[in-house]
Structure 1
Amino acid sequence: MKQLPVITLRAMEPEDLEVLYTIENDRSLWDMGTSNVPYSRYSLRDYIVHASNDIYVDRQVRLVIENSEHQVVGLADLANFDPQHLRAELGLVVLRQYQRRGYAEAAVVQVLDYARHILHLHQLYVIIDQRNEAALQIFRKYCFIAGRTLKDWLFDGEKYHDASFFQRIL
């Protein structure tokens, strides 16, 4: 079995502004999620400064993924937190230059542990573009169960694409 890279999940710092700006304004990612507008550095700086990092207050937690050399390799989000049912949606982005090196898988492992043992969530779910075979493989490997196919769920500006809903009881 391939060994996963060593990563750390940490809170966002003001120094992460440029990475956040790059990710949030990467148009190729817009069709994978619910955002389709550019964000200014000002609004993102304001977000970093005012985020409490308390999932009960913000209804989300955004974590920075760092490798063993302390380089930011991506972001992990627990969003759409539902405090009554103790579930959240997991979102994950690895910067292009760090993709296909095991960082996404390592982040999933750590987010699962964090969600279960620190946040005491009952379940996580993800919505994945069906064209993203690498992501589908990772979530299947970590026992996320495929639910429904969400027909024409994601729009890339030209065409609609199906997405898969996966969930995992923790």
Structure 2
Amino acid sequence: MEPEDLDFLYQIENDITLWDVGITNVPYSRYVLYNYLSECKNDIYTDKQLRLMITTADHICVGIIDLVNFDPKHLRAELGIAIQKPYRGKGYGRAAILKMLQYAHDVIHLHQVYVVISEDNIQCLKLFQEIGFTEGAILKQWLYHNGAWQAAKLLHFFCK
């Protein structure tokens, strides 16, 4: 991420429709995100995460993809992705996931990448399964949304 990504990051991090799939439920200030950008080393071994912007061929930012919860001992990380609504269903997410998996294999030498997806997010589950993720577990009452608990699925991809 670059300093000029601040406004886009601010928009994504404060999109309350995405909070159900993340771990936050409070908005971030520009100041906090500016500090995050300036302090981030862009080194997965130091930061324990890697966040990349997803752009179109003409450099329009359409989303963010990241590897978080990086575990260097067990060579695994959790993948997260957020695509802005107008750009969903156009192949940007699939392309970004495939590039990230290639990076995870070729550069970081991960053994496993995993995702946690709400059981009712059929479109997202289908995308990851088409890419080659397989179901590992059902996490009962894992996500809290609109006053109710929802199950989530843990899917994993073994890097070869």
TM-score (norm 2): 0.96
Give the C-alpha shift of residue 100 in structure 1. 1.1
Structure-1 residue corresponding to 2:61: 72
Confirm or deny that 1:114 pairs with 2:103.
Answer: yes
SS of the counterpart of 1:31?
A: helix
* Aligned equivalents of 1:65, 1:122: Cα separation in 2: 24
Unaligned runs of 5+ in 1: 1-11
Aligned counterparts of 2:64 and 2:106: Cα–Cα separation in 1: 20
For residues 68 and 141 of structure 2, the distance between their equivalents in structure 1, rounded to whole angstroms, comes to: 22
Q: Report whether the alignment pairs 1:104 with 2:93.
A: yes
Q: Which amino acid aligns with 2:83?
A: V
Aligned to 2:18: 29
Q: TM-score, normalised by structure 1?
A: 0.91
Give the match's secondary structure for 1:47: helix
Deviation at 1:138, TM superposition (A): 1.1
Deviation at 1:145, TM superposition (A): 1.1
What one-letter code is carried by the residue in structure 2 that aligns with 1:54?
Answer: D
Residue aligning to 1:41: 30
Greater RCO, CA 8 A, separation 6+: 1
Shift of 1:155: 1.1
Q: State the alpha-carbon separation in 1 of the partners of residues 91 and 133 from structure 2.
A: 18
Residue 74 of structure 1 deviates from its aligned partner by: 0.2
Structure 2 CA distance for aligned equivalents of residues 19 and 152 of structure 1:
32
> In structure 2, what is the Cα distance between the partners aligned to 1:155 and 1:139?
22
- Corresponding position of 1:95: 84
| Equivalent-residue separation in structure 1 for 2:32 and 2:125 (angstroms) | 32
Q: Distance in 2 between matches of 1:79 and 1:111?
A: 12
Q: Is the 8 A contact 1:64 1:72 kept in 2?
A: yes
Q: How far off its partner does 1:76 sit?
A: 0.4
Identity %: 47
Residue of structure 2 equivalent to 1:59: 48
Aligned length, in residue pairs: 159
User: Could you tell me how far apart the structure 1 residues matched to 2:143 and 2:91 are?
Assistant: 25
| Match among 123, 130, 133 for residue 122 of structure 2 | 133
Gaps of 5+ in 2: none
Deviations 1:108-132 (A, max 9, x none): 1111111100111111000001121
Q: Alpha carbon RMSD of aligned pairs, Å?
A: 0.9
Moved over 2 A (4+): none
Q: Secondary structure at the match of 1:91?
A: strand
Distance 1:158 1:27 in 2: 15
1:125-164 deviations in Å (ceiling 9; x for gaps):
0000112111101111121110111111111232221110
- Partner of 1:89, secondary structure, is strand
